[in-house]
């Protein structure tokens, strides 16, 4: 439990002091997806080069019947991290932005928060004070914003937040900051009979409210961290109640454990962007079938963000070394991606 707490701590203690450019790029209203019926290139937002070639070569190898690398359809499991891999994670994990907004929205019902840390710090935008409360305080924020309601109430709260909150740099709903090239990759894999899964350190129920629509991934193919729940039945009313207690942390070594629990098969394709994904990639790398390990390296300080070894959010250090040693494919965001977000597409 101590190790789990440390992991949560590392993940949560970092949402402060991060620069945040307030630029608003030109945009259209469209949330684009690749339309494979009219585009022969399945990955049109990917520049030609080694990364794209590696992906296509792998997919062609495992889908070619009779070839030594062929993988039966039932074993074509692909797992994707979410934060910083399918959508952005700056200036702070979007789910933490939700938690902060939620605490602010609930403050009227909690007058005691105005004098009690870490809530006082949140309400006064004084993150230094929040952080002084340490791990215990951060967990108090998460539980106050994510627990103590039914599953359906939580879904509504998240949906309402997504429909009103705007990302500070791009001034758009957070769920528009998904990566166009990754949408194409998901589509491409599914068109080749892969089952695509999200395996994220983020909250499983938080993701399920929007990720199904954003990525075309059903709720039962989304794996994430969770709090405990209980079943309540009163006179025909059946609800799932969200409890203020951690159940599972789907990060680091928790990712293979979560994959085993929810999917029950080793992936042949694993995609992540941080050291928190390293064990998932190691797990896929040990598959007896051919497998593909993919890291997204944030190298684009202009269109998105550039960060790796020294970052508090999405740190990619050990993973970068291991990718080099093992010959895993690393996406260079700046050079490999033509477009970052769907709303930047020219339609």
Q: How far is the CB of 107 from a copy of itself (least distance, A)?
A: 29
Q: How far is the CB of 220 from a copy of itself (least distance, A)?
A: 5
* Strand partners for 80: 198, 271
Helical packing angle, 180-191 and 50-63, nearest 10°: 20
Is 154 or 341 the residue whose CB approaches a copy of itself more closely? Answer: 154
Is 38 or 238 the residue whose CB approaches a copy of itself more closely? Answer: 238
Q: How far is the CB of 232 from a copy of itself (least distance, A)?
A: 9
Q: Is the separation of the CB atoms in 55 and 295 below 8 Å? A: no
Is 113 or 328 the residue whose CB approaches a copy of itself more closely? Answer: 328
Q: How far is the CB of 89 from a copy of itself (least distance, A)?
A: 22
Is 76 or 167 the residue whose CB approaches a copy of itself more closely? Answer: 76
Q: How far is the CB of 139 from a copy of itself (least distance, A)?
A: 20
Task: Measure CA 123 to chain center.
Answer: 26
Residues for the chain: how many in total? Answer: 347
Q: How far is the CB of 238 from a copy of itself (least distance, A)?
A: 4
Instruction: Give Dmax over CA atoms of the chain in angstroms.
Output: 69
Q: How far is the CB of 286 from a copy of itself (least distance, A)?
A: 4
133: which DSSP letter?
Answer: T
What are the structure tokens assigned to 280, written together? 């998932």
Cβ atoms within 10 Å of 30's Cβ, excluding its own:
13
Distance CA 58, CA 74 (A): 17
Dihedral (Cα; 259, 265, 268, 273), 10-degree rounding = 0
Is 133 or 279 the residue whose CB approaches a copy of itself more closely? Answer: 279
Q: How far apart are the first and last CA of the chain?
A: 50
Distance CA 339, CA 137 (A): 39
Site residues (vs a copy of itself, CB under 8 A): 74, 151, 195, 197, 204-205, 208, 212, 218-222, 226, 229-231, 233, 236-240, 253-257, 260-265, 279, 282-283, 285-286
Is 44 or 244 the residue whose CB approaches a copy of itself more closely? Answer: 244
């Amino acid at each position: 439990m101590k190790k789990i707490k440390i992991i949560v701590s590392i993940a949560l203690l970092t949402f402060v002091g991060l620069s945040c450019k307030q630029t608003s790029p030109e945009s259209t209203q469209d949330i684009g997806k690749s339309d494979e019926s009219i585009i022969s290139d399945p990955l049109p937002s990917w520049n030609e080069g080694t990364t794209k070639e590696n992906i296509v070569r792998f997919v062609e190898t495992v889908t070619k019947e009779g070839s030594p690398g062929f993988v039966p359809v039932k074993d074509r499991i692909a797992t994707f991290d979410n934060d910083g891999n399918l959508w952005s994670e700056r200036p702070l994990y979007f789910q933490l932005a939700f938690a902060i907004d939620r605490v602010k929205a609930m403050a009227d019902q909690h007058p005691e928060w105005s004098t009690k840390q870490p809530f006082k710090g949140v309400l006064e935008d004084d993150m230094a004070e929040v952080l002084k409360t340490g791990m215990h305080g951060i967990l108090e924020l998460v539980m106050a914003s994510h627990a103590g309601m039914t599953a359906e109430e939580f879904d509504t709260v998240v949906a309402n937040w997504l429909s009103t909150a705007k990302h500070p740099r791009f001034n758009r709903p957070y769920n528009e900051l998904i990566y166009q090239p990754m949408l194409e990759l998901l589509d491409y894999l599914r068109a080749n009979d892969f089952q695509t899964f999200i395996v994220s350190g983020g909250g499983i129920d938080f993701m399920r409210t929007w990720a199904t629509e954003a990525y075309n991934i059903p709720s039962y193919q989304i794996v994430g961290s969770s709090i405990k729940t209980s079943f309540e039945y009163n006179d025909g009313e059946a609800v799932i109640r969200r409890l203020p207690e951690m159940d599972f942390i789907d990060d680091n070594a928790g990712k293979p454990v979560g994959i085993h629990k929810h999917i029950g098969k080793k992936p042949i394709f694993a995609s992540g962007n941080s050291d928190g994904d390293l064990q998932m990639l190691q797990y896929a790398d040990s598959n007896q079938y051919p497998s593909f390990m993919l890291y997204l390296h944030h190298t684009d300080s202009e269109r998105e963000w550039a960060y790796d070894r020294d970052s508090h959010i999405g740190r990619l250090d050990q993973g970068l070394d291991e990718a080099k040693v093992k010959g895993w494919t690393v996406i260079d965001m700046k050079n490999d991606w033509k477009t970052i977000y769907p709303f930047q597409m020219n339609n």
